[in-house]
Amino acid sequence: MYSDASPTMRFILIGILIAMAVGIGGMTIWSYRSHHSGEPYGGSFTLVDEKGAPITEAAMRGRPSVVFFGFTHCPEVCPTTLFELAGWLKTMGDSGKNLNAYFVTVDPERDTPQIMNSYVSNFSDRITGITGDPDKVHAMAKAFGIYWKKVDTGDGDYTMDHTASVLLLNAKGEFAGTIAYGESADTAIAKLKRLAAGGEA
């Protein structure tokens, strides 16, 4: 009986582990890997940066890119991630000068270019904010495999659940890896150095 139950228990444990990995606002590596390798990741988009200038998928071609989806009203995950990203890029110095870094809002209704500019500039001038028409922003997030959900806080306001991972794209715009929320600085910087050097992170 024990041997019969063992596979079932393994399936249950695997299910629990996967659910924990996804978490609230999280996503697993499996959704990334479901995209065919050798193809640009995320498709095409036409949005605006924090200065109000048009930006398309072409910005994520020609140089490796670091892409994080979040929102300016985020209480913890977003400011922590952007602060850490700014630190990683600073630590890398010249070895990371060819990396582009982007912060894409999942809350475009509130995150106008002006608000994005004010917010992102608090962390680093290396990070470009991206926002735009809500339908187009959400289409981009979906194409990148990003989870997001508006959550009513019960006081007439709302917050956003969203994926907490940082996406890494190579110079061809292909998926090259992720940096998980809370990952150690040494591991994150090592991944970024491999990405900058043209390898998989």
Inter-helix orientation angle 77-92/185-196, to 10°? 60
Tell which residue, 19, 147, 13, 122, has the closest CA to residue 72: 122
List, in order of start, the domains of the chain with CATH numbers.
Answer: 25-196 (3.40.30.10)
- Terminal Cα-to-Cα distance of the chain (whole angstroms): 44
- Residue 200: predicted pLDDT: 57
Determine whether 172 is exposed, middle or buried from the number of CB atoms within 10 Å of its CB (0-12, 13-18, 19+).
middle
pTM (predicted TM-score): 0.82
Residue pLDDT, tens place only, 76-130: 999 999 999 999 999 999 999 999 999 999 999 999 999 999 999 999 999 999 9
Contact 89, 124 (CB under 8 A): yes
